[in-house]
């Protein structure tokens, strides 16, 4: 069993993937668990959506939009009563105000 070619190939692939994930762990896990983001990206690609919600964590409700396509997110926030104030490209942020 240990000398069969499929087993050795599968073991080699697992080892290489483990080394890659270990070496790139700061990048892969910089936003926390990458699985919800991967699921949201796959929904965006497969369903051809402009914007998708990512699973909320710790009082954060992240959304993903296609690069440069912020209008769907801004429109959604304005429908919820928020007013778009500014976009800070250097900080990679959008500022909204609510009139309450």
Q: Tell me the pLDDT tens digit for each residue of 37-78.
A: 888 899 999 998 888 988 887 777 788 888 878 888 889 888
Residues 13-31, mean pLDDT to the nearest whole number: 89
Asked whether residue 54 is domain-assigned, the answer is: no
- What average pLDDT does the segment 10-38 reach? 88
Whether 26 is covered by a domain: the verdict is yes
Expressed as residue numbers, the domain containing 19 is: 1-30
Whether 51 maps to a domain, the answer reads no
Q: How far apart are CA 51 and CA 87, in angstroms?
A: 18
pLDDT of residue 100: 63
Residue 39 within any structural domain of the chain: no
Q: Assess if residue 3 is contained within a domain.
A: yes
pLDDT at 71: 87
Share of the chain above pLDDT 90, in %: 21
Confidence check: pLDDT of 91 > 80: no
Query: What's the total number of domains in the chain?
Result: 1
Buried b (16+ CB within 10 A) or exposed e, 22-57: eeeeeeeeeeeeeebbeebeeebeeeeeebbebeee
- 95 within domain boundaries: no
Looking at the domain assignment, is residue 16 inside a domain? yes
Average pLDDT over residues 9-31: 90
């Amino acid at each position: 069993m240990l000398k069969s070619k499929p087993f050795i190939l599968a073991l080699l692939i697992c080892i290489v993937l483990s080394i890659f994930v270990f070496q790139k762990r700061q990048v892969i896990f910089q936003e926390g668990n990458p699985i919800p983001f991967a699921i949201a990206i796959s929904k965006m690609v497969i369903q051809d959506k402009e914007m998708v919600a990512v699973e909320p964590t710790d009082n954060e409700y992240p959304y993903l939009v296609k690069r440069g396509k912020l209008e769907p997110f801004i429109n959604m926030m304005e429908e919820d009563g928020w007013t778009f104030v500014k976009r800070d490209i250097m900080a990679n942020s959008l500022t909204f105000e609510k009139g309450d």
